[in-house]
Amino acid sequence: MEQNLIEDIGEFQLLYQKKGLDGVKREINRDMKSDEEELFFRLFDKDGMRIYSSDLSSWGFLPDNQELIKQVFSTEELIFQSMRIPGEEYEVKAVYGLIAPDTLIYFGESTEETENIITLLSNVFIVMLIIVIPLASVLGWVMAGRAVKGIKEVSRIASEIEKGKLEQRVLVPAQGDEITQLVDTFNAMLDRIWVLISEMKEMTDSIAHDLRSPLARIRVISESVLSNENTPPTFRSAASGTIEECDRLSQMINSILDVAEAEAGALQVTKQKVNISQLVQDACELFEEVAEQKGIKLTCRLQKDCYIYGNIQELQRMLANLLDNAIKYTLANGQVSVALTCNRQNIEIMVLDTGVGIPESDQARVFDRFFRCDQSRTHDGFGLGLSYSRAVAHSHGGDIELSSSLEKGSCFIIKLPIT
């Protein structure tokens, strides 16, 4: 309102310069006719005498402030005034200002219109605050949730794939071209990765299978050379080494084929009810002597009468692989703990050791075929034991989880459903 009053004084100054005092009076009369109850005007000369006044009947008592008039003539500055007229509900905003060196204008207007606008805006804001903003927030939250649902699903499936579940795919309803295109591209990428990995596994399995026959012939030839009394000592030693390497290679080939069969579920021709409690107890007793020879304490905590349906040979070998690794990579005076728990839905077998541990960067790859981290390269093995163990867990509808810290040990948890 003060800015409007300043602009009005500027207009009156220009009007006075062009049309004089009479032109200012005529303009005041026009303004009063258009809005007579909201405005008042007074003109004063340099002596403070009133030389013109608009109709003030609706304003009641409106005194002249001679002190302010003198101050404006002496300083030539604007003076604003806020006042309340007796009997009026709204305040009045007024200004004293010069429109000529010898003429002062004193005028003002009611704040009724401004306050009505503020009241209206306040009511609108309250309605928005109570109704519109919460409603818009809920709608925005719902729309945002629908918009990012596909992205969240892609992120979830990516986490599952990181754990080795390459068969997972993103399944979300059409939500827009961008999300649909992202999902389709992601699934196409997974299909391509799955095909490549399957082809690599098939190639490895085929090579392993085809190597059996020539490897057997090499071993037979070496045995015939070794059994011949006329064979020179040097050839006999070479033949003996060849037989050992053939046996080692045969073991690796058999392990590869076992992993392939476990992954394909080919070993589970029939399922039978297996007493997991007894199976774990037998495994602990089998490895107890090995642990004692290394100075390792092997403890077992078993919940009794835990049963599942599965292949007992596969389950025995899976647990044996984990126990063998735990003892192999635990130093003397260390400890290996085995715990079995079960409920109505599933069983859990935990194999915990205080061994060398596995680096975090290698933990996602320890279940891959032939992968061996730096800590395991000093021990015999092919890098297939954990691959086989996870394949067995998967073929029984379960999984194996790993947590490990360097120099602190590792914890493998086998989770299998009861049925």
Is residue 153 a contact partner of residue 169, using CB atoms and an 8 Å limit?
no
pLDDT, residue 323, reads: 92
pLDDT, residue 413, reads: 93
- Residue 366's identity, in one-letter code, is V
pLDDT, residue 112, reads: 79
pLDDT, residue 268, reads: 47
Q: Which residues pair with 254 in a beta bridge?
A: none
pTM of the model: 0.48
Q: Which domains does the chain have, with CATH numbers?
A: 2-110 (3.30.450.20), 112-264 (1.10.287.130), 272-417 (3.30.565.10)
Residue ranges of the chain whose pLDDT lies below 70: 35-38, 58-61, 85-88, 147, 162-166, 172-177, 197, 200-201, 204-205, 208-209, 251, 255-270, 372-383, 419
Q: What is the dihedral of CA 312, 314, 320, 325, to 10 degrees?
A: -160
H or E segment at 80? Answer: strand 79-84
Is residue 287 a contact partner of residue 338, using CB atoms and an 8 Å limit?
no
How confident is the model over 369-391, as pLDDT tens digits?
777 665 554 556 566 778 888 88
pLDDT, residue 164, reads: 59
159 closest CA partner among 170, 172, 149, 144? 170
The string over 208-237, giving b where at least 16 C-beta atoms fall within 10 Å of a residue's C-beta and e elsewhere, is beeeeeebeeebeebeebbeeeeeeeeebe
Residues in Cβ contact with 284 at an 8 Å cutoff, skipping those fewer than 6 apart: 298, 300, 323, 338
